[in-house]
Structure 1
Amino acid sequence: MDIKEIRKSFPILNQEVNGHPLVYLDSAATSQKPIPVIEKINEYYRLNNSNVHRGVHTLGTRATEGYEGARDKVKNFINANSTKEIIFTRGTTTAINTVAYSYVRLHLEEGDEIVLTPMEHHSNLIPWQQAAKAKGAILKYIPLQEDGSIRMEDVENAITDRTKLVAMAHVSNVLGTINPIKEVAEIAHKHGAKLIVDGAQSTPHMKIDVQDLDCDFFVFSGHKMLGPSGIGVLYGKQQLLEEMEPVEFGGEMIDFVDLYESTWKELPWKFEGGTPIIAGAIGLGAAIDYLEEIGLDNIEKHEKELAAYALQQMKTIDGIQIYGPENRAGLVTFNLDDVHPHDVATALDSEGIAIRAGHHCAQPLMKWLNVTATARASFYLYNTKEEIDILVASLRKTKEFFGDVF
């Protein structure tokens, strides 16, 4: 990977913030967009803007080809069995809620179990809380080890014959923990349970093969993987999606409508009511092209090197607390003694460094860590070791400043 050449594709990085060159270390929240993605979206609106599936005119044909072509790219990107298994949504949150309402609630009975981990993003927690309340089901949690990882022994103990669903992040957005999804799927299926995987933090950074993982549902968002905001993907095994009813009704998802009865289109369109996210899907397709040209294996290797380097350098700072396992994805979550994470982020921003501070939509995990908030630096294919050096130097400066103040 030639990082200098890659960075040329991201015009937003070539600017100063507060008088300093921008150091963008918040890709776990949202990634920046390369020129080919921006241009592809622009091309759609400039030359091909039309609704899809409905018109027979040239613009409609072009738009439909772009939209459905993006679906085919997603299918190949995650190695789904068919484009029928690829549903475009507004994002990870919408995809999870679709499964919660259209599949899980219909199969839950009082006393059934939903198994989770305490590291889940709120989007992969609250829908299951609501489903459990509505159906009288029980939420169970796989305990975390001291470093934020899970043990297979605890997975075995948590999943029983009463378990209907296991919901788990592939990669924690706080700890960087990489969960053993394939092994969890095997245990879940042994007990007749289904597995939904939150892939929002894994899909942009490593090669995904849903058939190899054998998960039943897999969800992710475009904006974290160089694509535009407002587009996401729900992958589901075709048999399960066939069983499910739509959660949104209206145009585009219907086959036949009478005054008193209606029927639905076949997969995947029965879940895509209304005018779909056309430009978003086309932009996501362009992002996939860009990622595949560089290679997910190369991206994963680069990010792990950055994470290892960041851990090594940050541990030399006195009074820093770092959370998560040694073997992690490309992010580091931390706190500085006696300095609130928001103050850390504000101080770094004054130096042109963008990080995230807060509870990261993971309040139960914050409680487990015994903190109210943390700071997080997250890396992507366009980041460099030099940027980590700038981060570490600014953290030292921040610590010294607040030490003098207090």
Structure 2
Amino acid sequence: MEFVRGQFPALAKDWAFFDNAGGSQTLQGAMDRIVEFLTHRDVQIGGSYEISQLAAEALMDGRRAAQTFVNAARPEEIVFGPSTTVLVQTLAAAMRSQFEPGDEIIVTHADHESNIGPWERLREFGVEIKVWPIDTSSMQLRLEDLAPLMGPHTKLVCVHHVSNILGSINPVGEIADFVHRHGAKICVDGVAYAPHRAIDVTAWDVDYYIFSLYKCYGPHTAVMYGKYELLAELDGLYHYFYGKDKVPGKLEPGNPNYELAYSMTAVVEYVQALGRRAGSDAEGRALFEAGFAAIARQEEVLTNRLLDWLGARNDCRVIGDPGNGGNLRVPTISFRVEGVNSGAVARGMDDHKVAIRFGDFHSRRLVERLGEDHDDGVVRVSMVHYNTLAELERMLSALPDVLSGAELTLAADAD
């Protein structure tokens, strides 16, 4: 942990950062790559001169790093963009001509709005949007609930890998297999999964997978993976002379942010360093997977401790699975406290320099469906591997007093 925390300058502050699902802290190595690019390679790509060639090399290095990150077949399957929200909008716009009136897209109300709203807007072109409902008793998406929605006009299923509120990991490989057997494609929002486990788009056979690097220890940019043959079929969103075969450039109008794409190399190297420190003598992608295995072990300890604490209190209710059997949960844990405003809980923790958050986290449809949209929504504690048990115990030591104070405030407001 000394090595881990030493890679993140912001962790030297007095604050305990438990709002990582909103955005993780940034690696020093990623900052160094950004500075190195802006200092030594800050020109447009495509020129014949040396510095332009170095800039192009940096962008390709970023694509290759992202290729390793998701286990893609080739670097051209990587599309960079400013955020997952923008990249899903990009994909929806580039796919629009593939849909005809009467075609169907299936979404879930458990998704972040980024993977719902762009598809909903295709209704104006005659596309029908169906909703795959979450089973509110198990808080799971079940294939038996998806099956009756699938039909000959179903073209695309959009689903999250992990809900940024519920925290449970969906079996996207099984879902992708089911969707493909019914003749449709799948688009996965991987934002809440990507910081915690190794992504493997090849093993899962997903068609599109999108996540944000700023929640994976890098700067504010994002990545979309798409199977090469599918990216080639998409409409171009750049200039008219960027033909359909100009992949991925036709989906990056104005070109991606070079220095932020280049910083992806530092994120991959950092995860590989964790794998090496955990005892792996592998290289490349295998070493990267070993690093994420070490991350998962650290996060399991944090997850179990917080769930145990919440489960031992009669006034706290976890939103989602209250257990972590098989470590099939990421350390993004939402809860409600009986009779207490969620915003008051989060603001109370501010005085202890513990950063947590409250609200619906842009998963408003889910929060409304669960009936949790009152009293400032839910409280969310979202941890990552650089958080320590000591930080968590500090939060848990402060919470009882914070909850008592919030209860008193609520009672006074009622009077």
Asked if Structure 1 and Structure 2 have the same fold, meaning a TM-score greater than 0.5 normalized by the shorter chain, the answer is yes
| Cα separation, 2, equivalents of 1:278 and 1:144 | 42
Aligned partners of 2:10 and 2:25 also within 8 Å: yes
The 3-state SS of whatever aligns with 2:333 is strand
In structure 1, which of residues 78, 86, 99 is the aligned counterpart of residue 91 of structure 2?
99
| Deviation (angstroms), 1:403 | 2.8
Counterpart in 2 of 1:12?
10
Aligned partners of 1:117 and 1:144 also within 8 Å: no
| Deviation (angstroms), 1:156 | 2.4
How many positions carry a matched residue from both structures? Answer: 386
Aligned partners of 2:195 and 2:215 also within 8 Å: yes
The 3-state SS of whatever aligns with 1:196 is strand
Counterpart in 2 of 1:170?
161
Counterpart in 2 of 1:60?
52
Per-residue CA deviation, residues 239-293 of structure 1 (Å, 9 max, x unaligned), is 111111112438xxx45xxxxxxx4662122222224201110112211221232
Counterpart in 1 of 2:102?
111
Give, as a single letter, the amino acid of the residue that structure 1 aligns with 2:298: H
Aligned partners of 1:92 and 1:200 also within 8 Å: yes
Per-residue CA deviation, residues 145-185 of structure 1 (Å, 9 max, x unaligned), is 42321223223233233211100000111100211111111
Give, as a single letter, the amino acid of the residue that structure 2 aligns with 1:114: I
Is 1:234 the counterpart of 2:224 in the alignment?
yes
In structure 2, which of residues 236, 239, 251 is the aligned counterpart of residue 246 of structure 1?
236
Counterpart in 2 of 1:404?
408
Percent of pairs with identical residues? 30
Per-residue CA deviation, residues 68-118 of structure 1 (Å, 9 max, x unaligned), is 111011112211111221111112112211221111x22323333222222
Change (3 A) 1:272 1:138: closer
| Deviation (angstroms), 1:376 | 0.5
Counterpart in 2 of 1:258?
none
Counterpart in 2 of 1:49?
42
| Cα separation, 2, equivalents of 1:74 and 1:293 | 16
Give, as a single letter, the amino acid of the residue that structure 1 aligns with 2:10: I
Give, as a single letter, the amino acid of the residue that structure 2 aligns with 1:131: L
Counterpart in 2 of 1:379?
383
In structure 2, which of residues 253, 271, 281 is the aligned counterpart of residue 273 of structure 1?
253
Change (3 A) 1:318 1:38: same
Aligned partners of 1:109 and 1:137 also within 8 Å: no
Q: Which runs of 5+ in 1 are unaligned?
A: 16-20, 256-262
Q: Which runs of 5+ in 2 are unaligned?
A: 275-290
Aligned partners of 1:320 and 1:337 also within 8 Å: yes
Is 1:315 the counterpart of 2:305 in the alignment?
no
Counterpart in 2 of 1:18?
none
Change (3 A) 1:390 1:48: same
Aligned partners of 2:119 and 2:129 also within 8 Å: no
Farther-moved stretch of structure 1 (83-92 vs 266-275): 266-275
| Cα separation, 2, equivalents of 1:391 and 1:157 | 45
* Structure 1 segment 161-200 matched on structure 2, within 5 A: 161-200=152-191
Give, as a single letter, the amino acid of the residue that structure 1 aligns with 2:100: E
TM-score when scaled to structure 2?
0.89
* Structure 1 segment 116-135 matched on structure 2, within 5 A: 116-135=107-126
Counterpart in 1 of 2:267?
287
Aligned partners of 1:26 and 1:378 also within 8 Å: yes
Give, as a single letter, the amino acid of the residue that structure 2 aligns with 1:299: I
The 3-state SS of whatever aligns with 2:247 is coil
Per-residue CA deviation, residues 180-230 of structure 1 (Å, 9 max, x unaligned), is 11111111111111100001111221111101111111111110101100x
Give, as a single letter, the amino acid of the residue that structure 1 aligns with 2:3: E
Per-residue CA deviation, residues 311-356 of structure 1 (Å, 9 max, x unaligned), is 0012233411211112321111012222222111111111101012
| Cα separation, 2, equivalents of 1:98 and 1:390 | 42
Give, as a single letter, the amino acid of the residue that structure 1 aligns with 2:371: N
Is 1:208 the counterpart of 2:208 in the alignment?
no
